[in-house]
Chain A
Amino acid sequence: MSKQPKIPVDLILNKLAEGAEKAQDRALKARDVLLGPLDTQIAPTPYDIVYQDDRVKLKHYKPRKKRVETPLLMVYALINRETMLDLQAGRSVVRNLLDEGVEIYMVDWGYPTRKDRFQSIDDHVNVYMEDMVDFIRERNGVPKVNLMGICMGGVFSLIYSALHPEKVRNLITTVTPTHFDTDKGLLHIWAKQLDPDRLTDTFGNLSGDILNLVFLLLNPARLMIDKYVGFVENFIRMEKWIFDSPDVPGETFRQFIKDCYHKNLLIQSKMEVGGRRVDLGSVTMPLLNIYGRFDHLVPPEACDKLTRSVGSEDTEDICLDTGHIGIYVSGKCQKMLSPKIARWLMEREGTREKAEAVGEARSARTAVRSVEGKPAARSRRKKTKTSGSQA
């Protein structure tokens, strides 16, 4: 006869009672947070709307002191909103770049409605982006702009740079998927099963609510349960942003899934936009490619092939120890990312001395160490890769 383990019932009951007390305290704290004066304002940095075409607006942020002559056009994805780059004071990529002296223009893609369902990638890249770039060039009196893309916005920026290289001085891609033939991320596995033609023909635009649900299902245990066990004010701000999902225009969604997720045409330079082939060999301007090691939406395998596929000789990969949006909202990455981008742009602006001076001052104040790897060699003739979070 096997020996039955003794179950210390009294201890378990005591623990349960303690746990209930703690849970009650937590609930009271949550109630205080929710009912108290909450500051959940997003995008606090002031800007002007300087251009608008249909639902698409162009925001302009002016730095106190301009150190980089060429303005930076930031192109966010069609999924979620660009306000993530300016989530709150103290955690704002926009604010930090402005402090570094970078003049910023940011695309606000707006909220597509059913009438926008026929807008394709060509419309977003060769109409809206093209018009905005020309507007900035004319307004600022510059021949070229700096371009920075985030996620799908990075794909648009890359396509634009390949089709209009004469208008782009420097290109920065962050968490941008370019190689889709991988099974490392759940999105890649699921997207391959999709029939975008049927979806688009049936529903028109891809609903923002469906997108929210899909992203939650990528990790329901963490994103639907664990996330709500204990939260603070910042969490509410993040909740506000994460569920603010516009619809994705149907034709854009159709081509993105078919040409990228199904056929992986972009990295092969076989993708066609507006009847023109997107040849990555035409991307000859300097390229800075930043991605996250723990990004479950756009895994490193989807990002790290870009620099060897473009025509530029001046490229740099930076792999940060963070996830998809951690690059923009993590305090550690915030301290590193904007100074790095500003310095990288300044070096290619023709103001190398100024860039080095700024870089030294920053390094003294923020001693950020790399997790692994060597510091990047700042050579314009070599392709470099930096790991971890070293500036």
Chain B
Amino acid sequence: MSEDRQDKSRPESLLAGWLQATSEFWSSAMKSWPGMPENEQAHQAAAQWEPSLQMWQSLVSMMSEPGAMDGILKGVNALPEVGLKVANSTWNGFFFFQQQWLERMGELGERAEAYKFENAGEKMFDNWMEVYEKEFRQFLKIPQLGLARFYQERSAEALDRFNILQAAAAELSYLFYLPMEKSMRVMQDKLKEGMEKGEMSDNLKDYYQMWIKTLEGHYMTLFKSPEFSRSLNNTVDALEEFQKAKQAVVYDLLQNLPIPTNRDLDELSREIYLLKKKVRELDKKLNGSPS
């Protein structure tokens, strides 16, 4: 009994039952179709409907075959598996980051050394890029199929480059923020030292000048550091790549509109530039003086 119930509750059996009922309905509909009408037009309309009904009946009959249903349902079952895989990657990425954040929280109590920018944030952003490249990027690099494959590939490429740019820009922004953080810590130490020695200035402007000078020094140190150069290079490279990818997508969109693109205008500008140059040279040769 319970096996029967289980069998009946399985999706395949429900679908088969529905298809069977549908097939019987259309068969009886065909049989009870009124006889040929007397006028010509009605007869033609009925003749047009009949092949569609017959085709639908044969389709339903085919689908009610057990083997056909198995094939269809296997394909349908694959979709949740793909979704699960994507979700799995996302969860892995989040769990990895949660671990990183917890480790960083543990470092909060440590002193940040003044005027030192080695490994500043590098680890965190490198980890993110590692996760992105390992878990997420593969979905954007799936080869596209079909007539619109090139457009789809360019869109995926633009999205990929955008993500990389975001990561590089985030790292650069973080580096710009670091001198603020470090200068505040230096100020705290200086204030504490001043209080211990009893050498506190009455003028708030002195503290402001102290802070701005410390901040300036930190920025100068940062800008000369290899970490900053590396991050700046990465950001500029990422921006260039994203710009190229974005232009490719925009170019595809503008193809359908009566709007010339930068590429079109650049080609024209180059031709005009070369022509003007030629005209000047010829003018000088002819007249022996500038126009």
A: which residues have CB within 8 A of B? Answer: 5, 7-8, 15-16, 18-19, 22, 114-115, 117-119, 123, 127, 130-131, 134-135, 186, 189-190, 193-195, 198-199, 202-204, 217-222, 225-226, 229
Give the total number of A-B pairs whose CB atoms are below 8 A apart. Answer: 77
Knowing A5-B195, A199-B236, A219-B219 are in contact, say whether A15-B224 is a contact too (CB < 8 A): no
Knowing A114-B266, A134-B290 are in contact, say whether A219-B229 is a contact too (CB < 8 A): no
Complex CA gap A189/B269 in Å reads: 33
- In the bound complex, residues from chain B placing their C-beta under 8 Å from that of A135 are 290
Q: Determine the residue in chain A with the shortest Cβ distance to B239.
A: A202
Complex CA gap A229/B179 in Å reads: 20
Listed A/B pairs (14) with beta-carbon separation below 8 Å: A114-B265, A115-B272, A118-B273, A119-B273, A134-B290, A186-B224, A189-B224, A189-B229, A198-B240, A199-B240, A203-B240, A219-B220, A221-B216, A226-B212
Interface size on B, residues (CB 8 A): 36
Complex CA gap A30/B269 in Å reads: 47
B219 touches A7 (CB 8 A): no
- In the bound complex, residues from chain B placing their C-beta under 8 Å from that of A114 are 262, 265-266, 269
B236 touches A203 (CB 8 A): no
Knowing A5-B196, A202-B243 are in contact, say whether A134-B289 is a contact too (CB < 8 A): yes
B127 within 8 A of A: no
A222 touches B212 (CB 8 A): yes
Tell me, rounded to whole Å, the shortest Cβ–Cβ distance linking B131 to chain A.
27
Complex CA gap A115/B208 in Å reads: 47
A221 touches B219 (CB 8 A): yes
Interface residues of B in 203-262 (CB under 8 A from A): 204, 208, 212, 215-216, 219-220, 223-224, 229, 232-233, 236-237, 240, 243-244, 262
B204 touches A15 (CB 8 A): yes
* Main DSSP-derived SS at the B contact region: helix
Q: Determine the residue in chain B with the shortest Cβ distance to A225.
A: B212
Tell me, rounded to whole Å, the shortest Cβ–Cβ distance linking B218 to chain A.
8
Interface residues of B in 183-204 (CB under 8 A from A): 192, 195-196, 200, 202, 204
A221 touches B269 (CB 8 A): no
Complex CA gap A5/B208 in Å reads: 22
B204 touches A19 (CB 8 A): yes
- In the bound complex, residues from chain B placing their C-beta under 8 Å from that of A16 are 204
B270 within 8 A of A: yes
A127 touches B266 (CB 8 A): no
Tell me, rounded to whole Å, the shortest Cβ–Cβ distance linking A220 to chain B.
6
Q: Determine the residue in chain B with the shortest Cβ distance to A202.
A: B240
Knowing A115-B265, A186-B224, A193-B232 are in contact, say whether A202-B212 is a contact too (CB < 8 A): no
B278 within 8 A of A: no
- In the bound complex, residues from chain A placing their C-beta under 8 Å from that of B224 are 186, 189
Complex CA gap A234/B290 in Å reads: 42
A219 touches B216 (CB 8 A): yes
A202 touches B244 (CB 8 A): yes
B229 touches A204 (CB 8 A): no
B280 within 8 A of A: yes
- A-B CB proximity, top 9 nearest: A221-B216, A19-B204, A115-B269, A221-B215, A202-B240, A118-B273, A131-B290, A5-B195, A5-B196
- In the bound complex, residues from chain B placing their C-beta under 8 Å from that of A219 are 216, 219-220
- In the bound complex, residues from chain B placing their C-beta under 8 Å from that of A189 are 223-224, 229
